[in-house]
Amino acid sequence: MDLSNHISLLDTKVAALTSQISLPPDGELDDSLGLAGAVYRRAQESPSAPAIEFDGQVISYAQLHCHAALLAKELTRKGVGREEAIGIMTGTGFEQIVAQAAVVYAGCTCCALDPTLPFAQLQYRLNNAGAQICLVDQENSNRLKEFKVIPITLEALTPTQVTAELAVPPRAMGIEHRTHLMHTSGSTGKPKTVQIQAKALLHLARDDRNVPIGYEDRTAQMAMVSFDISLFEIWVTLLRGATIVPISRTLLSDVARLARTWRELRVTVMLVPASLLPMVVFAMPTVFSGMQVVYSGGEMPNLPAMKMALEQGPPNHLFNCYGPTECCIFSLVHEVTLEDTKSSVCPLTRLISDTRIEILDSSGQPVPDGQSGELFIGGDGVSPGYVNLADKTAERFVTTRQYPALPESCNFYATGDLVRRTETGEIYVHGRIDNQVKIRGYRVELEGVEAAIMDTGLVTATAACKVQREDDDLGAVLVAFVIPKDPNTFTPDQLTDALKVQVAEYLVPQVEVCTEMPLNGHTKIDRERLVREFLEAATKRQLEMAGTQDASTTISRLRKIWHSVLPGCSRHIEDGDTFHALGGTSLQAAMLLIRMKREFSVELTAVMVYEQFTLAQMARYVDEGGAKYTIHAAHNRAYRQDADIYRSLALQPLSGQPPQWDAPFEGRIFMTGATGFVGAFLLQTLLTLPEVKTVVCLVRAKDDEQARNRVMKVQTQYSLCQSSVDYSKLVAVAGDLGSPTLGLGAELFHQLGHWASCIFHSGAHVNYAQPYQSHRDANVLGTANILRFQGTGRPKRLFYLSTLNIYGPTGLVNGYTRVGENDPITRFMDAVQYDNGYAQSKWVAEKMILDAIQDNFPISIFRPGAIFCHSKTGTGNGTDFVARLMASCMRLKCYPTMPQQSKNFVPVDYLVNAVLHLSRQQCSLGQAYNVVPTMHEQPEDEMREMFHMLEKACQTPMKEMPYDKWLELLKTLDDNDPLRPLLPMLEEKVFENHCRWEMYGKMPIYGTENLTRDLRDVPDLAQFPVLDQPLLNRFLSGLNLI
């Protein structure tokens, strides 16, 4: 669409018309036309002024007005009503902005949708809004077949058309017009739909001090259009008479390129999420130089990144912003200076336009300066409420009627945020009053836990609570109080088993059965009473125990410890009970071992808990001094019994050549591990490839809908949902790796065996504290079942993700200084004995894979080192060992001496790209690849180098100290420390007085001949990206550690 030839004609034709129209001076603007009036006035004042510039082409304000008016007429012909919700779904470009303007001109309400959302979410949002009609661009014309679809066609306009349309003002809707429906992120799965009125946008746009945007400015439009930030990018820009510059969100995966794009497009106004700001600044410190204004919000500001930007290339204005969606984008801001960056927190010092705030205590009374209270926001920016959530609206959108201390002049929104105001008027946000709590270092949304519990269908009511005794220094636990649907058959194990396939382990609560839920004065569940009575009952049990038993015996003391770390256990603990049968989690297992070591002064091992030691057996072990239960015990050699498990499978490879998965009429991928870190990135990349037709993901879940939700949740978690990713290709199926037919049933198992072009198997159970037996089902039997699947239907290649851990601590145990990709894996069987159960299970699984290769199964093996963050974005896994280690060392301001130890970090994007490239090559058949830096690039002392870089990143001196002393310091940290659940593993001695982590000293060089040979001619992969300071900084920034 090239409209440039018409601009000069428009200037001439429209000049006469505009000279006859008298515009009111600033401050006397007639708001009866609402938002449409502002666009109309700008089109009359400067018809050729650029409203939108995209891909080298421009739509002027006059053309925008004309396009919007014509499309609005089409809506009117469809009989749309006042403030009727109209769906809008487009890609990046002109169409989204024109469509929103048209809906506003028609007096309707915009319900903008992101094409990357799954259909179920699109359908929910449209149905919830009551939308029947949708405006779509050509790319999305077939996505919403259940609705009335109007295509957005932007054909070149004639000067006569534009002149004619400029003569007709848009429909007068006034400032109360509900122009938009925005969606909150919604931690429980269903987002809340927030109503936005024209006056909310006008009140922000007319704040000259905090919105210093002029006619010559150019605003980047990158936000997802269903979030309120996009309203600023589009409508505040139009209301200020500036130019919108749409930019594809795909650039978010390459922040360096994104920064260059901002420069090339001469962007002067940016809204940068707080999580993205450090990435772009560290990639290009001068990125904001020359910009007029940069806004950053959504999370706590990253002050080191702001400092770098202000020192090396400041914009004219840099704002830290705060505001919930319910208050339309921003409510409070602060213009950040270099002086501000010297502090650890950033204040909020200015109110937007006529915004009012009040800070009230739990009884609804104002709090004195310096004290904490809930923030209430009032003014024109406040929404009328939620759609179809009357109770929630009444709870959060309040007046002086509910809270007499509030002024009568306006409505207020109860934010749920805890703030304090200093005597000088600065506002500091420091927490939440609602159900979001922190348990053992994890942020837990209690409503989300409750939603997952209700989703099981096993209970009629539930309340999830954080429970902690005042005298307990081992931290809090998550407890769910439930009323069973069928009290006669319900057991807590039923619920916990159902939850384990839905949520992460730290979200699986202790279960306490209730007959009814107590209510407070507001007729809500009285959570305080539930917790209080629960703790009273637990204390009573302990007192009864103390009165009936000899407290001096080991088993009585041990029983008391079990009760203390299992507050959800409501019955007497019998001598024959095992810890896990009582509902103990891995976090509680770590607490148990810590307390037992403190109480009995004996060396303990986490395997004792996972190998189902009973209370009596554990007491006997303590009485015997703990010396006999060592690393040489039978449990740690269990993996040896499975060394030749492949032979018992009696598998035969299929005859014939497997297809090239990327060949025409192929592209049908079967994969596991899509909810893992590597699998998430692999899936995202596959879905961007045109040669991929469909990706079937096997996911542990109760049904296919939940399977897809789990996959999409992880995609969102790692910010992978981009416009270039075609999620319509994704098919998630509920299954189980440990089942012979993968939990699919025999029929579907065989159908998919014929259907699939290839298999990517990255699914695995990973827990560094659990023994081999806990990993066997998923990692060993799961791999056996994948081999069985490979041998079903038609021939197909298998690409198997292994690990360097299959070598074990071979440098220290065997004395090897170099290990090769093709070395017999049996050479490392003894060394793996001294590693954890995960490593042992992966050794057995790879031995099985290698045996299958000997039988001519078409398989390729990939053994990555420590998988690190994305090399461009810094997006990483915040729960893996390295991330926990860095966070703990930063807290301690010290790190352990780990001589001759390396992690051989591999960025996740490099690993994915290498695997995909090699999966297309015939030369990779039957090969094993060590995906690590080439032999001459492998650092000899990488851990020490990493700690030095960590010291620079956090700008705090860090002391190196012997491992034992560092470990003693680590044990002094509180229970929220990230490494606390792994403490037993870190201190358990397994070989010649070395703990498991120390065993990886004297590491060998890992051979990479196969990798080097087969990637030599691939420019993007031939050079392995090693860990350096910028990459570490991006990783730490992404986790908000710096």
What is the mean pLDDT of the segment spanning 881-902?
89
DSSP 703-721: SHHHHHHHHHHHHHHTT--
CB contact at 8 A, 863 and 803: yes
Between 981 and 154, residue with greater pLDDT: 154
| Among the listed residues 259, 222, 273, 272, the one whose alpha carbon sits nearest the alpha carbon of residue 244 | 222
Query: How much is the pLDDT for 9?
Result: 32
519 and 419 belong to one structural domain: no
Q: Is the pLDDT confidence value at 218 over 60?
A: yes
Q: Is the pLDDT confidence value at 187 over 70?
A: no
Q: Which residues touch 112 (CB under 8 Å, ≥6 apart)?
A: 88, 89, 96, 100, 180, 225, 226, 230
CA atoms within 13 A on the CB side of 767: 24
DSSP 670-681: EEE-TTSHHHHH
Euclidean distance between CA atoms 40 and 654, whole angstroms = 69
568 and 715 belong to one structural domain: no
Between 412 and 537, residue with greater pLDDT: 412
Q: Is the pLDDT confidence value at 121 over 80?
A: no
Identify the domain containing residue 80 by its residue range: 4-207
> Taking all residues of the chain, what is their mean pLDDT, rounded to a whole number?
85
CA angle 733, 736, 737 (to 5 degrees): 115
What is the mean pLDDT of the segment spanning 161-185?
87
In which residue are the tokens 């006008």 written? Answer: 202
What is the mean pLDDT of the segment spanning 985-993?
75
- Burial code (b: 16+ CB inside 10 Å, e: under 16) for 965-981 equals ebbebbbeeebebbbbb
CA atoms within 13 A on the CB side of 975: 18
Q: Which of residues 414, 432, 450 is at a domain's end?
A: 432
> How much of the chain exceeds pLDDT 70, in percent?
88
610 and 481 belong to one structural domain: no
Euclidean distance between CA atoms 989 and 491, whole angstroms = 38
Q: Is the pLDDT confidence value at 3 over 50?
A: no
Which tens digits make up the pLDDT trace of 629-664? 444 444 456 788 888 899 888 898 999 999 999 998
In the numeric block, which tokens belong to residue 191? 């987002």
Residues paired with 296 in a beta bridge: 272, 320
Query: How much is the pLDDT for 336?
Result: 95
Query: How much is the pLDDT for 790?
Result: 96
> How much of the chain exceeds pLDDT 90, in percent?
45
In the numeric block, which tokens belong to residue 444? 């837990």
Which residue blocks in 286-389 are alpha helix, DSSP H?
Answer: 303-312
Q: Is the pLDDT confidence value at 857 over 80?
A: yes
| Among the listed residues 201, 180, 183, the one whose alpha carbon sits nearest the alpha carbon of residue 380 | 201
Q: How confident is the model at residue 15 (pLDDT cuts 50, 70, 90)?
A: very low
482 and 410 belong to one structural domain: no
> Could you tell me the CATH number of the domain that includes residue 486?
3.30.300.30
Q: Is the pLDDT confidence value at 1 over 70?
A: no
What is the mean pLDDT of the segment spanning 936-958?
85
Q: Is the pLDDT confidence value at 275 over 80?
A: no
Q: Is the pLDDT confidence value at 522 over 50?
A: no
Q: Is the pLDDT confidence value at 6 over 60?
A: no
**Length of the chain (residues):** 1042
Using alpha carbons, list the distances in angstroms from residue 747 to 730, 742, 754, 793: 21, 11, 11, 11
Euclidean distance between CA atoms 446 and 180, whole angstroms = 30
What is the mean pLDDT of the segment spanning 552-563?
84
1029 and 911 belong to one structural domain: yes
| Among the listed residues 787, 785, 782, 853, the one whose alpha carbon sits nearest the alpha carbon of residue 821 | 853
Q: Is the pLDDT confidence value at 436 over 80?
A: no
Q: How confident is the model at residue 463 (pLDDT cuts 50, 70, 90)?
A: confident
Query: How much is the pLDDT for 43?
Result: 93
Between 250 and 441, residue with greater pLDDT: 250
366 and 419 belong to one structural domain: yes
Q: Is the pLDDT confidence value at 956 over 80?
A: yes
What is the mean pLDDT of the segment spanning 319-334?
93
Q: How would you write 773-792 as a 3-class SS string?
A: HHHHHHHHHHHHHHHHHHCC
664 and 565 belong to one structural domain: no
| Among the listed residues 273, 193, 1029, 190, the one whose alpha carbon sits nearest the alpha carbon of residue 719 | 273
Euclidean distance between CA atoms 47 and 62, whole angstroms = 5
Helix (H) or strand (E) run with residue 74 in it:
helix 61-77
What is the mean pLDDT of the segment spanning 552-572?
78
454 and 597 belong to one structural domain: no
Any domain includes 756? yes
Euclidean distance between CA atoms 631 and 988, whole angstroms = 9
> Could you tell me the CATH number of the domain that includes residue 666?
3.40.50.720
806 and 850 belong to one structural domain: yes
The mean-pLDDT minimum among 545-549, 695-699, 833-837 falls in 545-549
Q: Is the pLDDT confidence value at 359 over 60?
A: yes
Between 389 and 981, residue with greater pLDDT: 389
CA angle 476, 481, 486 (to 5 degrees): 150
Q: Which of residues 189, 207, 225 is at a domain's end?
A: 207
Any domain includes 330? no
Q: Is the pLDDT confidence value at 595 over 70?
A: yes
Which residue blocks in 814-892 are alpha helix, DSSP H?
Answer: 829-832, 837-854, 881-892
The mean-pLDDT minimum among 318-327, 426-435, 649-658, 707-716 falls in 426-435
Helix (H) or strand (E) run with residue 59 in it:
strand 57-60
Euclidean distance between CA atoms 204 and 206, whole angstroms = 6
39 and 110 belong to one structural domain: yes
Q: Is the pLDDT confidence value at 188 over 50?
A: no
Any domain includes 297? no
Which tens digits make up the pLDDT trace of 82-92? 999 999 999 88
Any domain includes 248? no
421 and 454 belong to one structural domain: no
Q: Is the pLDDT confidence value at 546 over 60?
A: no
Q: How confident is the model at residue 27 (pLDDT cuts 50, 70, 90)?
A: very low
Any domain includes 180? yes
Domains: count for the chain: 5
Between 570 and 305, residue with greater pLDDT: 305
Any domain includes 850? yes
Query: How much is the pLDDT for 520?
Result: 58
Which tens digits make up the pLDDT trace of 767-813? 877 788 888 889 999 999 999 999 999 999 999 999 999 999 888 88
| Among the listed residues 264, 300, 258, 297, the one whose alpha carbon sits nearest the alpha carbon of residue 281 | 258
CB contact at 8 A, 458 and 484: yes
Any domain includes 853? yes
Q: Which of residues 629, 656, 672 is at a domain's end?
A: 629
870 and 922 belong to one structural domain: yes
User: Cβ–Cβ contacts within 10 Å for residue 187, how many?
Assistant: 16
> Could you tell me the CATH number of the domain that includes residue 604?
1.10.1200.10
Query: How much is the pLDDT for 304?
Result: 77
According to the per-residue pLDDT averaged within each range, which of 180-189, 351-360, 404-413, 604-613 is highest? 351-360
Query: How much is the pLDDT for 806?
Result: 94
Any domain includes 967? yes
Residues paired with 148 in a beta bridge: 133
pTM of the model: 0.51
